[in-house]
Structure 1
């Protein structure tokens, strides 16, 4: 990625973190200078000079820019480590406010249909991993996880698996012995197995075929199945719960392949 692309990406990310476009462009511009005047900054960023002052005031208020009241005024960005920590704190504070606000919202239950046969779809590896981790933490009896794509065996997932309580059976399936060996080292308390679901592997599949990412069965009643899109590598998943849910019933039988009979989740 060239310098121009990096700069534009930085501007885009700053806007996603809550800065307005001119503020983001001014901050990125200052990050390239030891210090600069409004004129220099305007020429570098193509932000109108009169708007530079407004943007700088907002950046200063957020602790991202320092001002030297000389003639002309000089501006400089705070050190990168300090700026990223400040932005992280602000982002975390916003997320916490959102959580607190929505946590108190009253749930309106229409109760117009049973959840037994419902299947929900979700997209994005971060969201799917968060749901996976939540389901694992909620388990009270048994967790059966089949890892179909090694890239999904992240440090966060490994940490969550290692936090599973002693009263919960933890079984983790792999598609190859190499992945199984990695799981054994990373999650020593788990019972590992080579999955009998060879069709998950896609070793002989073409690059155009969608691959299974992960299969998770919790307490024999909750299932999450994800797939990896062949071109974008985007992860998508479906999620269902309830002993009578058809997706859960099928998954229990499929995931039984490769497990010891005594620990078969369909029993």
Structure 2
């Protein structure tokens, strides 16, 4: 855990959602009061009183603050759930607009002769890796093999995408490193084939090894995503890291596919996997 207080954390999150520093501080101050004057907001938020008025008016235009035109004026924050929903809607609107704008940008032409079959890419951050994993599952046409290394990896979003894949006729195979996690998978994905894998190398191999494999995803036997997290002394992890590769002949995909074949009975032996004519 970090050393931020709830107030500091709330201000930080509001800034990430698009509010400026003084706006975030004023809103958090108002969330601590039934209502307040500019002077009271300034005292709690440590925002200069002359800047409180500007910040509050911006918050009003965003639908986050109400103003009572008394003397002196009083302000109050809208209910927390309403504020969160307003910010979520605005964030999603901006995201949708960004998506359409980026799609409308013409592609640049460069001389870049790359052998895609040997590409390996790195990703960082739990959110980015989780998003990539769900996108790969959405692309699956025949088979998804997922090894879950930690309970935190098995999110509602992930299980929902796996269920959608099954509805499309995709075979879903889920391996875990413990019987407890296997039972959880069976509870959330009753139609998937769930079992405790024989991949002992998923666990830390030696004393002092503080890196754990959080997920290992193989889609249609030709696309691989492997993610890890560093957890010193079992405490909160550093940002999650991952490597990603495509192509049946990709070196990373081949190595991981063969390693998985030694511990996952649904994949059969490694020779059978390599000779699969539909996987190329």
Q: TM-score, normalised to structure 2's length?
A: 0.88
Q: Answer yes or no: is the 8 Å Cα contact 1:194–1:258 preserved in 2.
A: no
- The answer to whether structure 1 residue 32 and structure 2 residue 37 are counterparts is no
Could you list the per-position Cα deviations for residues 178-226 of structure 1 after superposition, in whole angstroms to 9, with x for gaps in the alignment? Answer: 2222212211221223212112123x74354311111111111100011
Tell me what 2:11 maps to.
11
* Distance change >3 Å, CA 11–CA 134, structure 1 → 2: same
Which residue matches 2:246?
A: 241
Q: Contact between 1:221 and 1:248, CA under 8 Å: does it hold in 2?
A: yes
User: How far off is 1:51 after superposition?
Assistant: 0.8
> Given that residues 224 and 240 in structure 1 are in contact (C-alpha distance below 8 angstroms), is that contact kept between their aligned partners in structure 2?
yes
> 1:242: how far off?
0.8
Match of 1:172 among 171, 174, 179: 174
Bigger mean CA deviation after superposition, 168-177 or 123-132: 168-177
Do 2:30 and 2:77's aligned partners in 1 also have CA atoms closer than 8 Å? Answer: yes
Aligned to 1:182: 184
Assess if the C-alpha contact under 8 Å between 1:37 and 1:74 holds in 2: yes
Following TM superposition, by how much is the alpha carbon of 1:75 offset from its aligned partner in structure 2, in angstroms? 1.1
TM-superposition CA deviations, 1:107-135 (whole Å, max 9, x none): 22533322211110001111111111111
For 1:215-250, what per-residue CA distance to the aligned partner results, in whole angstroms no more than 9, with x for missing partners?
111111100011111234232100000112100110
Inter-CA distance 31–207: structure 2 relative to 1 (3 Å threshold): farther
CA distance in 2, matches of 1:261, 1:168: 14
What residue number does 1:74 align with? 74
Residue pair 1:208, 1:230 contacting (<8 A) in 2 also: no
Gaps of 5+ in 2: 276-280
Q: Aligned-pair RMSD on alpha carbons?
A: 2.1
Partner of 1:94 in structure 2?
94
Aligned to 2:135: 134
Is the contact made by 2:261 and 2:267 (CA closer than 8 Å) also made in structure 1?
Answer: no
Structure 1 range deviating more: 108-117 or 39-48: 108-117
